[in-house]
Structure 1
Amino acid sequence: MNPLNKIRKEGQSIWLDLLDREIMNSGKLQSLIDNDDLGGLTSNPSIFEKAISGSSDYNEDIANFSKEEDDNAIIFFDMAIKDIQRAADMFKPVFDKTNGKDGFVSLEVSPLLARNTVGTIKQVRELWKKVDRKNVMIKIPGTEEGLPAIRECLSEGININITLLFGLPRYREITEAFMGGLEDRLKEGEPINNVASVASFFLSRIDVMVDPMLKKKRADDLVGEVAIASAKKAYQIYLEMISSDRFKKLEANGAQRQRVLWASTSSKDPAFSDVKYVEPLIGKDTINTLPMDTIDAFRDHGKVTETITQDIDHARKVMNDLKAGGIDINEITQKLEDEGIEKFKDAYDKLLKSIDSQKYKKRLEK
């Protein structure tokens, strides 16, 4: 057993932060599922932009879809859905083996809708219907405008992955939206045992933003500590939620727990370990979604032990020291949310331009 196999025994699932046709065509994705206990997969606009603009694998689909449709966004989602369906079918045995607790593939709504509640709900419904797979999650950004969309879509029985989550106050609001959505569904007499959700914290970006501030203040003891401390505090909020009377009532009616997912887990600072955002965050009811390089690194030399509930006092001290040093973590996380939306918008814009360029080439060939 390698570390990727062992980590499941601690209650954590490893997902892949990548989707393209090469990894499916080559058999690499199936090998990860079979040999490394890979439990799921996530996609986002940046991942699809690299896949579509960085290879010729989508050229034929662009040519075919553009015969019927001129809107580049519709062409993109048609291609994305095709990939998501294929990946979901590959993970279906994992979904079945875990009784619907794992084996999920995630597809994100357009980043242009991040501040649009009504538009988000509309597109979530459309994507969920078109994908037509029980082991798919639709990703909704954890923005203020996303909160009512999360609640509404969960109440309709749609699996939701809350993405671009940075701040602890927002996470508390998301737990409220999660429980509220299931309560709304129960009131309608609908089952809640088959509704899955995860809350995805983006971690390394926190350190990328805050560490230069800490170095300026000569607070070197806090460098590289804030993201992990924040994640550990988030897990404490998760434990509060599942132990609450409110959730226990939902669980008695079959509710699944909304697991916390660690995202943005590659080390951006070369001074850090390449498994920095994996080893300290292992624990029950958690997911870590890793890029390929980090999966390979953890398979090679990762150490597996339950760590997410360890060093909580240190995590509190880190966050208190940060505040005492004049750095407002809530201001940081709001800025990261805003920047994250813009980065995904930029990737989405490049993706649509890439599709347009391919369509133009085909017209010239004619």
Structure 2
Amino acid sequence: MTNPLLQLAQAGQSIWLDYLDREILESGELDRLITEDGLRGVTSNPTIFNKAITGGDAYDARIKALLAKGDAQPDALYEQLAVADIQAAADHFRPAYDRLGGADGFASLEVSPKLADNSEGTIAEARQLWGAVNRPNLMIKVPGTKAGTPAIRQLVSEGINVNVTLLFGLQAYLDVAEVHMAGLEAYQASGGDVAKVHGVASFFVSRIDTAIDKAIDARVQAGDAEAAALKALRGKVAIANAKVAYQHYLDLVREDRWKALAANGAAPQRLLWASTGTKDPTYFDVLYVDTLIGPDTINTMPPATIDAFRDHGTVAPTLQADLDGARRVLAETQRLGLDLDGVTDQLVVDGVKLFAKSLDELLTALAAKRLQLKGETPTARA
């Protein structure tokens, strides 16, 4: 039987891995995923790096080697470790990137979540990371916050590939699609080759259902008169939201404005489905893969979801199926006062906080590791 992961490529959808550590880079696991499953990219974030670097002693030798070259504070150590991992990952995907003419084969590295409300700080750090990694198949992850939006435009206008992260709401997606195009237009006007610039819009899925389902369950438990209608929406809102976002994408690439860029070789800012592992154990474990399959999209999956889809995923053109049903779900969500806009706005705030917390935990662990590997203790140093 054909591997369902490979069938996704035939349906026009790329798969990226939502995980990265030294073990999969050095053990041959990443290469196996590329060769056998058609993996075409990898994403990282502070939470992923926190788990990777603090999950054991796999990074101790590298940290010790960095310290031997000169003392470094935790934030500098983190950057050097992350840059090295991303460089290695990008190199693993470089053959695919070259073979596909730059259409795929990317590794993504995120700017500090502490800069989410700082446009100029985001631009400066993105430029620095772009130069440090120095790979054409790098994407710099920038959150789709109000401060992130002008930063995205500026970075794209400089020819930097951007993966816009933490997108939940439809208007937020439209805002970043606009600045991506504006950035390409500015880059082209400055003499840049827009064919060399690539971007994705990472639209998060499962976290929406987690938040909406929680609100539904609370109202049902309280005896809400609309209990039946509320329960009928469990596990459906995020998928409906994503399907409507994809329709907006299709509308955008039909516009004359986009066609003018495409005529000069510009690649579309593909929608990337993120947070596609199911959080509710009662849901089918590949729910957010099976239901969101369509051309010119990416699904970035955690390892467990990749394994599950390989085993029992079903490939069909589901992303454009039952659009009327998706719109009815969103209309019913509004009628029942579930405040999807408010939920998606809050999820951006929560996402930034979560990544910032992971970064703080990582830096604290690196500070302790630094002292340990230098043969010091906080007490002895004092």
Question: Fold conserved (TM > 0.5)?
Answer: yes
In 1, Cα distance between equivalents of 2:97 and 2:329 = 38
Q: Tell me the amino acid that sits aligned with residue 274 of structure 1.
A: D
Q: Tell me the amino acid that sits aligned with residue 55 of structure 1.
A: G
**TM-fit CA distance, 1:208:** 0.5
Residue from 349, 361, 366 that aligns with 1:355: 366
Aligned to 1:161: 163
| 1:297-347 deviation line (CA, Å, top 9, x unaligned) | 000010001111111101100100000001211100010000000000000
Residue from 211, 219, 239 that aligns with 2:250: 239
In 2, Cα distance between equivalents of 1:213 and 1:365 = 49
**TM-fit CA distance, 1:186:** 1.2
In 1, Cα distance between equivalents of 2:21 and 2:180 = 30
Alignment map for 1:185-334 (pairs within 5 Å):
185-215=187-217, 216-217=219-220, 218=227, 219-334=230-345
In 2, Cα distance between equivalents of 1:274 and 1:320 = 26
CA contact (8 A) 1:18 1:41 kept: yes
CA contact (8 A) 1:30 1:90 kept: yes
In 2, Cα distance between equivalents of 1:275 and 1:99 = 30
CA contact (8 A) 2:111 2:142 kept: yes
Aligned to 1:108: 110
Identity of aligned residues (%): 49
In 1, Cα distance between equivalents of 2:13 and 2:101 = 16
Aligned to 1:40: 41
In 2, Cα distance between equivalents of 1:51 and 1:310 = 38
In 2, Cα distance between equivalents of 1:310 and 1:99 = 31
**TM-fit CA distance, 1:69:** 4.0
CA contact (8 A) 1:69 1:75 kept: no
| 1:20-41 deviation line (CA, Å, top 9, x unaligned) | 0011111111000000000110
Tell me the SS of whatever aligns to 1:201.
Answer: strand
Between the two proteins, the alignment pairs up a number of residues equal to 366
Q: Tell me how large the CA RMSD over aligned residues is.
A: 1.1
Aligned to 1:91: 93
Tell me the SS of whatever aligns to 2:16.
Answer: strand
Aligned to 2:133: 131
Structure 2 gaps of 5+ residues are 221-226, 378-382
CA contact (8 A) 2:73 2:367 kept: no
CA contact (8 A) 1:232 1:281 kept: yes
CA contact (8 A) 1:229 1:315 kept: yes
In 2, Cα distance between equivalents of 1:99 and 1:177 = 24
In 1, Cα distance between equivalents of 2:56 and 2:13 = 33
In 1, Cα distance between equivalents of 2:121 and 2:193 = 26
Alignment map for 1:131-150 (pairs within 5 Å):
131-150=133-152
- TM-score between both structures, scaled by the size of structure 1: 0.98
**TM-fit CA distance, 1:363:** 3.1
2:7 equivalent to 1:30:
no
- TM-score between both structures, scaled by the size of structure 2: 0.94
Tell me the SS of whatever aligns to 2:83.
Answer: helix
**TM-fit CA distance, 1:365:** 5.9
- Which stretch of structure 1 is more off in the superposition, 329-338 or 355-364? 355-364
CA contact (8 A) 1:207 1:225 kept: yes
In 1, Cα distance between equivalents of 2:216 and 2:240 = 15
**TM-fit CA distance, 1:73:** 1.1
**TM-fit CA distance, 1:150:** 0.3
Structure having the higher Rg: 2
Tell me the SS of whatever aligns to 1:38.
Answer: coil
Tell me the SS of whatever aligns to 2:375.
Answer: helix
CA contact (8 A) 2:74 2:370 kept: no
2:17 equivalent to 1:2:
no
In 1, Cα distance between equivalents of 2:367 and 2:63 = 9
Aligned to 1:121: 123
| 1:275-297 deviation line (CA, Å, top 9, x unaligned) | 00000100000000000000000
CA contact (8 A) 1:21 1:57 kept: yes
CA contact (8 A) 2:63 2:77 kept: yes
In 1, Cα distance between equivalents of 2:271 and 2:339 = 23
CA contact (8 A) 1:23 1:29 kept: yes
Q: Tell me the amino acid that sits aligned with residue 162 of structure 1.
A: V
Tell me the SS of whatever aligns to 1:193.
Answer: helix
**TM-fit CA distance, 1:71:** 2.3
Structure 1 gaps of 5+ residues are none
- Which stretch of structure 1 is more off in the superposition, 257-266 or 93-102? 93-102
